[in-house]
């Protein structure tokens, strides 16, 4: 029974952290997302963020509008599933953003005071592990799992079907395809024992943006954006863990009908606290804020996130039913 309890704890912990990135796939990837769990596990997150910024929080290009002030409440619902491919761990996920955003902004010399609500652009994500332990296909694989040095290939693609009005600069949908290619890397520090786990994580990635041919009747183009997320995580107990987080954004110079703006060079720092409520449910709190934001052209953003994630696996649920039988 002790081995079964350890198995359930390890599967649920990695399963729930795997779902967390769904909530902020368009922004900063949370800690412990790329830990691996048993193949054929499932997770559904419900995530709410409160954001204040001088860039539209629904746009991953973070186009800064000097003097602008946006307030947004972002809700996200998604689904993630793990599976094995060529004996390696893989993950597929989809996220549906929704919410409201309001603010004052100046674009091409025109002032706008607007609000928008509804659905944003859904995003598809695929991850494939090519360095690290083989896929976990059974209970013994999960009990033996240690990430060691692990590296994945990450692919994201947003579908431009969210709500969009070409006469408004403030929208939830972006009216263009965009996506990301990344190399998430996890380094295990010390023993891999629940309550004592420590990781150092890096996620270098490049965002690429299509052209919006109808942005206030003009053409919006954006250069690629380099993003580096990093996390130092540590278990406090078997059910509670924390993380020190940092994000660097560089690039994404945008132009409207040939008139170029400024490139991003932004650093954000934050904290994350996660709590596993039971075998299926986890609660996570996170806060992040930009720190080099004194210039009027600098990205300024404060973000608070709370997530509730439900995860399950047929083997774990079967073990629970057997345990509860008289």
> How many separate domains does the chain show?
1
C-alpha to C-alpha distance for 326 and 310, rounded to whole angstroms: 27
Per-residue pLDDT of the chain (326 residues; tens, 9 = 90+): 444 455 555 555 555 554 444 444 455 567 777 888 888 888 888 888 999 999 988 899 998 877 788 999 988 888 988 899 999 999 998 989 999 999 887 666 667 778 889 999 999 999 999 999 999 888 788 778 889 999 999 999 999 999 999 988 889 999 999 999 999 999 999 999 888 999 999 999 999 999 999 998 899 999 999 999 999 999 999 889 999 999 999 999 999 888 888 899 999 999 999 888 887 888 889 999 999 988 888 999 999 988 888 888 777 667 667 666 66
Main-chain phi, psi angles of 165, to 5 degrees: -125, 115
Predicted confidence at residue 253, as pLDDT, reads 93
SS3 232: strand
| Chain centroid, CA 3 distance in Å | 32
**CB neighbour list of residue 140: distance below 8 Å, 6 or more residues apart:** none
Helices 2-20, 314-324: axis angle to 10 degrees equals: 140
Counting Cβ atoms within 10 Å, is residue 167 exposed (0-12), middle (13-18) or buried (19+)? exposed
Answer yes or no: are the C-beta atoms of 176 and 160 closer than 8 Å.
yes
Main-chain phi, psi angles of 315, to 5 degrees: -65, -40
Nearest to 31 by CA among 254, 230, 307: 230
Instruction: Tell me 141's DSSP state.
Output: H
Residue 4: both structure tokens together: 């079964």
Residue 150: both structure tokens together: 């692990």
The string of pLDDT tens digits covering residues 96-119 is 999 999 988 766 666 777 888 999
User: Model-level pTM?
Assistant: 0.88
Residue the block writes with tokens 């596990």: 41
Helix (H) or strand (E) holding 311: strand 301-312
Predicted confidence at residue 109, as pLDDT, reads 64
Residue 120: both structure tokens together: 């944003």
CATH code (residue 264): 2.40.128.130
Residue-range definition of the domain harbouring residue 169? 2-324
SS3 121: coil
Task: Tell me the β-bridge partners of 118.
Answer: 99
* Angle (CA) 239 244 250, round 5°: 135
C-alpha to C-alpha distance for 241 and 145, rounded to whole angstroms: 19
Report the residue count for the chain.
326
């Amino acid at each position: 029974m002790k081995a079964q309890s350890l198995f359930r704890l390890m599967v649920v912990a990695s399963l729930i952290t795997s779902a967390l990135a769904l909530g902020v796939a368009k922004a900063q990837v949370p800690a412990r997302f790329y830990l691996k769990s048993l193949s054929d596990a499932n997770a559904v997150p419900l995530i709410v963020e409160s954001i204040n910024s001088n860039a539209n929080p629904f746009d991953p290009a973070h186009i800064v509008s000097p003097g602008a002030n946006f307030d947004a409440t972002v809700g996200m619902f998604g689904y993630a599933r793990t599976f094995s491919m060529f004996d390696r761990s893989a993950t597929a996920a989809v996220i549906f953003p929704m919410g409201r955003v309001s603010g004052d902004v100046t674009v091409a010399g025109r002032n706008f005071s607007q609000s928008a609500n509804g659905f944003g652009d859904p995003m598809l994500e695929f991850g494939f592990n090519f360095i690290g332990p083989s896929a976990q296909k059974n209970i013994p694989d999960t009990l033996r799992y240690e990430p060691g040095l692990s590296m994945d290939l990450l692919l994201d693609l947003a579908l431009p079907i969210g709500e969009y009005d070409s006469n408004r600069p403030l929208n939830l949908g972006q009216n263009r395809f965009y996506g990301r290619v990344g190399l998430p890397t996890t380094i295990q520090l010390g023993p891999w024992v629940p309550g004592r786990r420590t990781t150092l994580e890096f996620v270098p990635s490049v965002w690429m943006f299509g052209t919006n041919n109808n942005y206030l009747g003009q053409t919006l183009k954006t250069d690629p954006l380099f993003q580096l997320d990093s996390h130092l995580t540590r278990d406090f107990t078997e059910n509670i863990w924390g993380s020190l987080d940092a994000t660097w954004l560089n690039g994404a110079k945008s132009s409207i009908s040939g008139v170029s703006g400024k490139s991003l060079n932004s650093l954000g720092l934050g904290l994350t606290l996660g709590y596993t409520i039971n075998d299926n449910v986890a609660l996570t709190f996170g806060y992040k804020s930009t720190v080099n934001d004194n210039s009027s052209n600098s990205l300024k953003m404060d973000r608070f996130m709370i997530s509730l994630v439900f995860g399950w696996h047929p083997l774990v649920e079967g073990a629970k039913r057997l345990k509860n039988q008289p």
